[in-house]
A = this chain, B = another copy of it.
Amino acid sequence: MAAPNGQPGRTRCISDADLRAFSGYVMKRAFNAIQADVNMALAPLGLRMITFSALSVIVSNPGLRQSQLADALLIERPNLVPIVDELQNSGLVYRDPAPDDRRAYALAATPAGQRLYERAYAAVQAHEARVTKPLGTAERRALIDMLTRIEG
């Protein structure tokens, strides 16, 4: 289980063979590569991965509540507040008083937010093609499918 590959002080090539069979480790490295690339793709639009994800769900679900958005993004309610603040301060989304519950806000994208989302979506699709370049079309679909099954 992990045999030494050299004498102390003389190791030349670092082995992480055991780790490369550990999916958490491999996934962390792949996710880091993907996140770096997508953040680079979104930076010119003033978005990050998490703000793009939030904007995407808001565009698809106008009128949703912040707690619903937090559930969809799998983040805690308190951590969503500065994310929605950021999108609102950029004029991309707005918080409307919910008609049926005065504690809640209905979230929706502004016209500028919808336009930016379309550009960001295109940028993310280009990023997607870039990072999954080493994969075939069937593999790419299989990867998404397997990851979704692991999460569920």
A82 on the interface (CB 8 Å rule)? no
Contact partner of A11 among B9, B63, B128, CB < 8 A? Answer: B63
Query: How many copies of this chain sit in the oligomeric assembly?
Result: 2
User: Does B26 lie within 8 Å of A57, measured CB to CB?
Assistant: no
User: Does A10 lie within 8 Å of B134, measured CB to CB?
Assistant: no
A80-99, CB < 8 A from B: 96, 98-99
User: Does B71 lie within 8 Å of A20, measured CB to CB?
Assistant: no
> Interface residues of A: mostly helix, strand, loop or mixed?
helix
A25-B124 Cα distance, complex, nearest whole Å: 11
21 A–B contacts from the bound complex (CB under 8 Å): A2-B60, A4-B60, A5-B60, A5-B61, A6-B62, A6-B63, A9-B106, A11-B62, A11-B68, A14-B69, A15-B61, A22-B53, A23-B140, A24-B34, A24-B38, A25-B53, A28-B35, A29-B147, A132-B150, A134-B146, A134-B150
